[in-house]
Structure 1
């Protein structure tokens, strides 16, 4: 009679059914944690990324800032900033329309003769 040598397979050799199941569960948990960490890192980086001001429109540079001869320079307009806040869901449609009307009105913050403190 011949004896077959399975070299690691069969009863008493290698992981059993529960061992394989445990390895599968642990592997899935590790993968889930890695995916969650990657998503959290992506969200953190995308939120904290601020445009780096440069060029002649930078506050503190010659001609930059709100008091400079050229205003704020080449940055986003107040209407663009408002639209970005609306797109991100920070304000609702009613507040967006109200603020946009205020920005565009002659007595609004950007219009002549209005908007500044003490005026």
Structure 2
């Protein structure tokens, strides 16, 4: 009767166990990296709500942002907005 007691192959030398451990580390590392990648991606709702900066802003948007930050006052905002729309300033 023959028994499988090892014949000097990879399992007896320990190389099989090392490869198994390395394979599991690569496998779980790939799973964790994929999970982290998915969590870091902005959702569609975030992108549409301003999660990403638009490539081109209009002059009116820039003016409104300056007014919102307090860089210009209401009269200057109204005057510049009227100029943008082709009307005479107040």
Structure possessing the higher radius of gyration over alpha carbons = 2
Bucket of the pairwise TM-score, normalised by the shorter protein: 0.3 to 0.5
Normalised by the length of structure 1, the TM-score is 0.38
Between Structure 1 and Structure 2, which shows a larger proportion of helix residues? 2
Normalised by the length of structure 2, the TM-score is 0.48
